[in-house]
Amino acid sequence: MASAAGAYFLAYGLVQPLWGLISARVGVIRSLRLAMLVAAVATAGTTLAVDATSLVAFRLVAGGAFSAAVPTALFYAGATAAPGRRHRDITALMSGVALGTAGATAGAGVLAATVGWRSAFLLTGATALVACLVLGRVPELPAPRAAADGLFAPLRAVLRSRPARVLLLLATVEGALLMGALTFLPAAVGATGSGTAVAGGVTAAYGVAVLVCAPIVGRVQQRVPAAALIVAGAGLAAVGCLLAAFTTAPVAAAVVCLLFGAAWASMHSTLQTWATEVVPEAGLASVSLFACALFTGSALGAVAGGPPVEAGRFGLVFGVAAVLLVPLGVLGALARSRWRSPVAVRS
């Protein structure tokens, strides 16, 4: 099962830029419908796996297919929203992602315990198929201009942009620190003697915080500079990591999750919105590369933190993360405050 989960997340992180290229060629909604169809087949096929190899193969395909959902939805939201509402719409989308993640995590656990693990995959596959059908009613976007310059032109446009490269670096570090810390928190709670159910319940506070804070951030973003939201998010995450470095008792860990959720709503939503704007002519590619950088950073954080976590040195991991989150917030705020929209400059 661990290998299957690893294959899923590996494909989920690495395949996202590919969906950006496909979307630039065939359209955002068409590529998303294709992805959901492949995801439905691969997820339902997981229930037919007869050995570890076939299970890993099905999960690998499913992870690559589902990876299209968030970056294409982000790009669609950014492309269809008025400039003044873009951040608000993206934070609303993020709230939906948090709600779906929390609901799916809890629901899968209940189904696995009561009906069997295959039922969770069948339901997920059916949901993906329904999404494929419903998306048929969503209007398609015009093809991005960069698509006419060659298949890899959007990627080249993003990688040639200095602000985009800085943003990708920030996303990688954010994934390593914030997502990495969140990944290790359940194990840290379990190490205190709490059961698995307690650890899972504690981390649910993260989803609650995102749901509560994302709409607030969406409402205030027109009055608060983006740089300030990045600093606030990094600061909240640093405080959470600092608290976790001293104690991961269930109550304290719940507070840490609340801080992480607020940090995600503030800092990450701001960086996500920037990803939709930083290279307007290659928005799909920039959003896809942003997501890829985020999950690559999360994987790097897991690898770097793995040895001390296995040795039970959770305080060291959270302490280092707390220290590194400070320069992340400062450098992210400086980069965002110095950036000027190419569209605004041309107009």
What's the one-letter identity of residue 292?
C
Among 132, 137, 138, 135, CA closest to 40: 132
Non-local CB neighbours of 156 within 8 Å, separated by 6+ positions: none
The runs of H, that is alpha helices, within 135-195 are 153-160, 162-174, 180-190
Do the beta carbons of residue 90 and residue 78 sit within 8 Å?
A: yes
Q: What is the DSSP string of 178-221?
A: IIHHHHHHHHHHHTTT--HHHHHHHHHHHHHHHHHHHHHHHHHT
The residues spanned by each domain of the chain are 2-138+150-337
* Residuewise pLDDT in 10s, the chain (347 residues): 556 766 787 788 888 888 878 887 888 899 999 999 999 999 998 988 888 888 889 999 999 999 888 888 888 887 787 777 777 777 777 777 777 766 676 676 667 667 777 888 899 999 999 999 999 999 988 765 544 556 677 788 888 999 999 999 999 999 999 988 888 888 888 888 776 667 667 777 887 888 888 888 877 877 889 999 999 999 999 999 999 999 988 899 989 999 998 999 899 989 988 998 898 887 778 888 998 898 888 878 888 888 898 888 999 999 999 999 999 999 999 999 998 876 544 43
For residue 309, give both structure tokens: 């976590």
* CATH architecture entry for 2-138+150-337: Up-down Bundle (1.20)
- Token pair 């960086």: residue: 271
Q: What is the pTM of this model?
A: 0.79
